[in-house]
Amino acid sequence: ILQSAGYIEYETDPDARARLKFLLGRDELYKLYETTPNEEAVISALLRNYSGLFSDYRYVEEALISQVSGLSQNEVYLILKSLSHRRILHFIPQRKTPFITYTQDRIDGCDVVIPASVYDQRKEQFIKHVNAIEAYATNNHVCRSRQLLRYFDETKSEDCGICDVCVDHQPNPNAEQEFKDAKQAILDLLADHKPHDIKETSELLLPRKAFKEALKYLCNEELVHIDGLLIYR
């Protein structure tokens, strides 16, 4: 966001380029006998395209060495690492970490003045977020997945078929039997005619929809009573 607004720029540190220096003298280098053809091609490309490599570190470009030697950049990199390990040269690989340059003056936090309109905008956004969360938790008619996608402006979607909303709306051929089983399980729990904590009903492990319908039916028929957190017959 800051980059698109023109507040910062990403740049590559010029000191991050690859550098190397030969540790062997020119005469010693020509006397090497244990180098492979690929290593010789890389050494030859270095000597032909860069000067001063025996006296100081010089910036080198692996892409250029690759082009001149006929090898891939990865092969050039591995060969330079190998030559460095054998103390023929010292190779410092390129660092790829970018750095940021601020294109505008930075203001201390104590001096920043935020206009009221920004607070109003943030408040409005916060209210929308809260309303969206509340709607997601209370909406039992629209697929949960579709609600989430709609929040992110993805309007073309289909029901997932596996969330609680989708499952509740799927036809259940066993619904009648589950309702009867749930009703009987509740009555059996309260058969002692003593008040029970409503949380005890969760131990019955009944299908959620069947349990809700059975409990509503029993309360409407005054077969079961609920008083606060207590349930009894």
Q: What are 197-215's pLDDT values in tens digits?
A: 988 888 888 888 888 888 8
The CATH architecture annotation of domain 175-232 reads: Orthogonal Bundle (1.10)
Q: What are 77-110's pLDDT values in tens digits?
A: 999 999 999 899 999 888 766 666 667 677 777 8
| 152 Cβ contact partners less than 8 Å away, ≥ 6 residues apart | none
Average model confidence (pLDDT) across the chain: 84
pLDDT value at position 45? 93
**d(C-alpha 58, C-alpha 52), whole Å:** 7
Does pTM surpass 0.85?
no
Residue ranges of domains in the chain? 10-92, 114-169, 175-232
Instruction: Give the three-state DSSP class for 95.
Output: coil
Once rounded to an integer, what is the mean pLDDT over residues 151-172?
Answer: 82
Residue 90 forms beta bridges with which residues? 21
Q: What share of the chain is helix, strand, coil (3-state, %, to 5)?
A: 50, 10, 40
Closest-CA residue to 21 (of 92, 89, 94): 89
CB 44 within 8 A of CB 60: no
DSSP secondary structure letter of residue 224:
S
Is it true that domain 10-92 has CATH number 2.40.160? no
- Which residues in 33-96 belong to E strands, given as ranges? 58-59, 89-92
Same topology between domain 10-92 and domain 175-232: yes
Q: Is 128 exposed, middle or buried (0-12, 13-18, 19+ CB in 10 A)?
A: exposed
pLDDT value at position 142? 87
